[in-house]
Structure 1
Amino acid sequence: MSKRIVAMGDGLWDLFPDGPRFGGATANFACHTSRLGGEVRMVSGVGKDDRGKDLLAVYRKYGVRTELVQELSNYPTGTVEVELAEGGMPTFTIGENAAWDHWQWNDEIERGVCSADALYFGTLGQRGESAKEGIRRALAIALERGIPRILDVNLRSPFFDDSLIRGSVAVCSVLKLSDEELDRVARACEIPSSESELERLKMIREKFGLRWVVMTEGAEGATLVLEKGSVRQPGAPAKVVDTVGAGDSFTAALTIGLLEESDPSEVLETACQVAAEVCSHAGAVPQ
């Protein structure tokens, strides 16, 4: 039987100079998790506009259930303006006051959360007060019922602060972050910067009583810290075409492995392999 995952947060379009591309960490995660065999319900908002219709169509194409995605007439579907500098380096401007900021908690979402095997959330998805309230209500239910709560921090400036980071870590059971995010997350959690990366991961896990803390390190692989120690996994070989969506695919594989109660070292190896596969294709979610 497929594991039921509720993914709460951002779904949007990245507006590149050559045209729009499906995006948003939560949306990417939802599609990757569905591709890996999970039964995924997306909780978010889209505008009653063409971009909203197109976004819903992409979810459905990948098998993501959309009955908990709210269509809102007062707010547009989310977008990110992408500008490419010399050398192809992108700069991103995340549109504010988007539909995914304004979805509202309701009985249907509550039923979806109560029947879930896991919840996924990030920090950007809590930018809007309405969405943040909904995510926190979902997490409270999940905490009470012992449902795993996967936090992929995905820090996006300027939409985070110490309080948001610390409050999110405090209510998750599995924390995933990148090596580039460790300093900021550790500081928010009042972990001494003098410690090594591994020690800081261990201290975060112990301080908040987390089941797993997982740090990705790009092509170098990933580290998983759990109660009985830690696991290190080198990166899988990949002919890199595009790294967009790789981290979200990693989290998807991590979530499925966690729910299937697979050996942590095998989960980490699979997650690195999945991310490497995504890097070898163009786009956040390969066809």
Structure 2
Amino acid sequence: MQGADVTMLSAVGDDKNGHDAIGILSAYGIDVSFMQIIPDAPTGTVGVALDNNGKPTFVIHQGSAWDQLVWNDAMASRITTADAVSFGTLGQRHAVSGATIRRAVEAAATKGIPCVLDINLRPPFFDAEMIRDSVQLASILKLSDDELVEVCFACSISKTDQPEGDLRGLLEFGSLDMVVLTRGENGAVLVTHEGTFTQDGIDGNVIDTVGAGDAFTAAFLVGELRGYAHDQNLRKSCEVAAATCAHSGSVPEARSNTSDHSEISDRGAVT
């Protein structure tokens, strides 16, 4: 959570996995009061297989509770008091959850709240329209080098020989504030209206890369909210992602959420 107060908006089944998930999130100090329990759908599960380099492939099961996330008045109130909202593409695979997520982002945008789109393309759960509409809803776009070609195609951006040209095309297409591209062991590139910033990869022991992209996004968003210089924020975010790769699983042992909050308002972030 990188020192932010986080509220999770999602849904789980009324089953052991669901109750365990809420317990784990609570142990990390995440506000779960807006989590929805769907009695007639199972908690979402994902199969993960790692290759010899620790890079995962996923089997994401369908018919999950998080596909049935519905909009309500309490969610509307929470969204408009956040410092930022983070959303992805995978959560929009079902019409019900997709409509809820888009409504949440639109509510935030009308209040001038930054909306971070973390692209997560998992075939067959996306199409060009979803990608294009999501980019146009966001103010900050984060994607990986594996996703760049697909996102450029969806947004009718002609690929160039250099990632910076592609990212600038996306910046203009979505009227975005910034676009950040993660490049695995090669670091990251950030493009803003002020310039381009690059960060080399961080050396470290890679056990598995599950959760590294999410860790990067969390660190990057909090750094932006704190007003870190772009080069400083990019390096810190890469360091956090590298640390995530150094242990098995996407999260370390739970510990008290006592990081310094002084530079972020008490409104928190919603994901």
The answer, yes or no, to whether TM exceeds 0.5 is: yes
The equivalent residue for 2:124 is 158
In structure 2, the partner of 1:38 is 4
Q: Which one of 45, 50, 59 corresponds to residue 25 of structure 2?
A: 59
Instruction: Quote the offset at 1:112 in angstroms.
Output: 0.8
User: Partner of 1:78: helix, strand, or coil?
Assistant: coil
User: Cα deviation per residue 1:118-170 (whole Å; 9 max; x = unaligned)?
Assistant: 00000000112111111111111111110000000011111000000000000
C-alpha distance in 2 between matches for 1:273 and 1:168: 28
**Pairing partner for 1:131 from 91, 94, 97:** 97
Q: TM-score, normalised by structure 1?
A: 0.85
Instruction: Kindly indicate whether the alpha-carbon contact (under 8 Å) linking 1:45 and 1:69 is maintained by their aligned counterparts in 2.
Output: yes
TM-score (normalizing by structure 2)? 0.89
1:146 aligns with 2:107: no
Contact 2:208 2:248 in 1 (8 A): yes
Whether contact under 8 Å (1:97, 1:128) holds in the other structure is: no
Higher relative contact order (Cα pairs below 8 Å, separated by 6+ residues):
2
The structure 1 residue matched to 2:155, chosen from 189, 198, 208, is 189
Pair 1:213-2:176 in alignment: no
CA distance in 2, matches of 1:85, 1:234: 23
Tell me if the contact between 2:201 and 2:238 (Cα under 8 Å) persists in the aligned partners.
yes
Residues 74-97 of structure 1 show CA distances to partners (whole Å, capped at 9, x for unaligned) of 111001234578998765321111
Q: Judge conservation of contact 2:55–2:208 (CA < 8 Å) in 1.
A: no
Any residues of structure 2 matched to 1:86-97 within 5 Å, and which?
91-97=57-63
Aligned identity (percent) is: 44
Secondary structure of 1:37's partner?
coil
Task: Return the alpha-carbon distance in structure 1 between the equivalents of residues 230 and 210 of structure 2.
Answer: 25
1:251-270 equivalent positions in 2, closer than 5 A = 251-270=217-236
Aligned residue type for 2:225: L
The amino acid across from 1:188 in the alignment is A
- The answer to whether residue 264 in structure 2 is matched with residue 283 in structure 1 is no
Q: Determine if contact 1:176/1:213 at 8 Å carries over to the other structure.
A: yes
Name which of structure 1's ranges 264-273 and 189-198 shifts more when overlaid on structure 2: 189-198
Q: How far apart are residue 282 of structure 1 and its match?
A: 1.4
The alignment's C-alpha RMSD in Å is 1.6
**What's 2:169 paired with?**
203
Instruction: Show structure 1 runs of 4+ deviating over 6 A.
Output: 84-89
> Would the alpha carbon gap of residues 142 and 87 (structure 1) be closer, same or farther in structure 2, given more than 3 Å must change?
closer
Q: What does residue range 7-22 of structure 1 map to in structure 2 within 5 Å?
A: none
Contact residue 177 and residue 216 of structure 1 kept, 8 A: yes
Aligned positions, number: 253
* Aligned partner letter, 1:63: G
SS of the aligned residue for 2:142 comes to strand
Residue type of the alignment partner of 1:242: D
Instruction: Note if 1:78 corresponds to 2:37.
Output: no
Q: Distance in 1 between matches of 2:137 and 2:118?
A: 12
> Alignment partner of 2:228: what SS?
coil
* Structure-2 separation of matches of 1:276 and 1:154: 19
From 230, 241, 247, the counterpart of 2:213: 247
In 2, the alpha carbon distance for the partners of 1:38 and 1:96 equals 31
Unaligned runs of 5+ in 2: 254-271
* Structure 1: distance between partners of 2:243 and 2:52: 27
Structure 2 counterpart of 1:179, one-letter code: D
Do 2:11 and 2:65's aligned partners in 1 also have CA atoms closer than 8 Å?
A: yes
Q: Which has the higher strand share?
A: 1
Deviations 1:64-120 (A, max 9, x none): 110111011011100123457899876532111100000110011111101100000
8 Å Cα contact 1:42-1:69 kept in structure 2: yes
Spell out the pairing of 1:106-125 with structure 2 (5 A cutoff). Answer: 106-125=72-91
Identify which range, 138-147 or 186-195, moves more after superposition. 186-195
Are 2:131 and 1:175 aligned? no
